[in-house]
Amino acid sequence: MVRAIFGTIVVLMFFGLFVHAAAAEEVKCEGAIVKVEGENVTVKDGTTERRMKVEPGTKITSGGKPVSVDDLKVEQRVKCVCDRRDGQMVCTTMEIMRDTP
- CATH code for the domain of 81: 2.40.50.320
Residue range 13-28: mean pLDDT, rounded = 61
For the whole model, what pTM was predicted?
A: 0.72
Instruction: Please list the alpha-helical segments (H only) found in the chain.
Output: 2-22
Residue 80 lies in a domain: yes
- Rounded Cα gap, residues 36 and 7, in angstroms: 51
Q: Which domain covers residue 65, as residue numbers? A: 25-96
Under the banding of pLDDT at 50, 70 and 90, the label for residue 9 is: low
Under the banding of pLDDT at 50, 70 and 90, the label for residue 20 is: very low
The predicted structure's pLDDT at residue 87: 85
- Rounded Cα gap, residues 30 and 83, in angstroms: 15
**pLDDT tens profile 37-91:** 999 999 998 899 999 999 999 999 999 999 999 999 999 999 999 999 888 899 9
Query: How many domains would you assign to the chain?
Result: 1
